[in-house]
Amino acid sequence: METRKVVPKETSQILKNFNHIDNISLLLNKYLDFLTFNKNKLNANEISFIKAINYISFIKDDEVYNEALKKVFEINYRRNRFKINSKNFEKEVVENTKERVENYRNYLIKGNGNKNLNKILEKIKERQKNSSDCSYQLTTKSRLIIGLGISSVLETSIKLHHIYGIPYIPSSAIKGVLRAYRIWKLANWDEEKYKEIETRIDDYKGKPEENISEEEKKIIEIFGNQNQKGKLIILDAYPEKFEGFDVDIMNPHYPNYYTNDKNPEPPADWQNPTPITFLAIPEGTTFNFYFKNAESYDRDLEKLRIDLQEAFEKIGIGAKTSLGYGILE
């Protein structure tokens, strides 16, 4: 077994001159730790191990981090769970990988790297405040998952700012939830009515003969549709403070049924579950929401605040909202 970085040789030489990496997005997407096993195909446990060594550096909770570090680097190689041939298994490689994991966390979550990220958040907050009409703060009531399906060699992902590496909620996602909430209220939470209203809103061209209500016109004026631009401008939402992530898990119980497209096996209890880990924004994280041209929202800033809060409480945002994720209050 050997460890290697999948980056160009010149890049690797340059990186040796730097003691720290400040961008979490680069670490997760461009500079991953890989342990290469001397065989063609890895089993599920080996893949999980590779993912784990790249996720645990960013765990917020100290107790969870210490337990994860112990399980990943003590149980997995001392008990030889992967059945690696002793001639190819190098303890030094794993110990060096463990040291890198600890160094990343000590810098990015507990040290100066984290201080730098939070200074950037303060500057972003100041810029957004100066360019907006109003702002609101909401706090995650459950874990928040944004960008879970973004392409990644780790199977799962999370939305991070491509320059700063900071987690955030894109303005397009906020707009989508707030718009959907207005339509759901108008439809009295009836799914068929919702589809009808949304179709009329999307297709509306402003012609006199079009049958559309005044409330539907307001939604178009605020958010726009396929034929016109909305007046309300929504900025990306950033956390008040970044302290790290939670590592969560999905556990599909019938892997042979879901992964074999050509000849899937029927779901059966004797199939081994395949845990899939992913990063999530922890419960209790406060986000700042900024709006420009806020008067376009029915000329009522208090209504905007109430609708925003109720939208995140009743609909949620991000992945797995049906399971209680992505709720803010």
CA distance 75 to 179: 48
Q: What is the pLDDT of residue 270?
A: 73
User: Span 42-69, mean pLDDT?
Assistant: 81
Least confident of 35-44, 52-61, 170-179, 204-213: 35-44
DSSP structural state of residue 145: -
pLDDT in tens, 1-37: 445 556 777 777 766 656 677 889 888 887 776 665 5
CA distance 111 to 244: 12
Top-confidence range, 34-38, 46-50, 121-125, 211-215: 121-125
Q: What is the pLDDT of residue 6?
A: 64
Q: What is the pLDDT of residue 82?
A: 43
Quick one: CA torsion of 40, 44, 45, 47, rounded to 10 degrees? Answer: 60
Tell which wins on pLDDT, 36 or 219.
Answer: 219
Burial class (CB in 10 A: 0-12, 13-18, 19+), 110: middle
Residues 6+ apart with CB under 8 A from 71: none
Cα first-last separation, the chain:
48
User: Span 313-323, mean pLDDT?
Assistant: 94
pLDDT in tens, 240-258: 999 999 999 887 777 777 6
Residue 296 has pLDDT above 90, yes or no: yes
Least confident of 34-43, 161-170, 271-280, 296-305: 34-43
pLDDT in tens, 95-138: 778 888 898 899 999 999 999 999 999 999 999 999 999 999 99
Residues 6+ apart with CB under 8 A from 249: 275, 276, 277, 278
Residue 262 has pLDDT above 80, yes or no: no
Side-chain-side CA neighbours of residue 282 (13 Å): 15
Per the structure block, which two tokens stand in for 201? 């809103």
CA distance 318 to 144: 7
DSSP structural state of residue 74: I
Model confidence at 222, pLDDT cuts 50, 70, 90, reads: very high
Least confident of 205-209, 221-225, 239-243, 321-325: 205-209
Q: What letter represents residue 44's amino acid?
A: A
Q: What is the pLDDT of residue 43?
A: 58
Tell which wins on pLDDT, 163 or 93.
Answer: 163
Domains of the chain: 1-110 (no CATH), 131-245+281-329 (3.30.70)
pTM of the model: 0.84
Tell which wins on pLDDT, 70 or 91.
Answer: 70
Model confidence at 79, pLDDT cuts 50, 70, 90, reads: very low
Q: What b/e string do you get for 212-239 counting C-beta neighbours within 10 Å, with b at 16 or more?
A: beeebeebbbbbbbeeeebbbbbbbbbb
Judge whether 247 and 277 are in contact, CB under 8 Å: yes
Residue 89 has pLDDT above 50, yes or no: no
CA distance 151 to 145: 15
CA distance 296 to 202: 19
Count helices and strands in the chain by DSSP H and E runs: 12, 8
Q: What is the pLDDT of residue 11?
A: 73
Tell which wins on pLDDT, 215 or 100.
Answer: 215
Q: How much of the chain, in percent, has pLDDT values that exceed 70?
A: 82
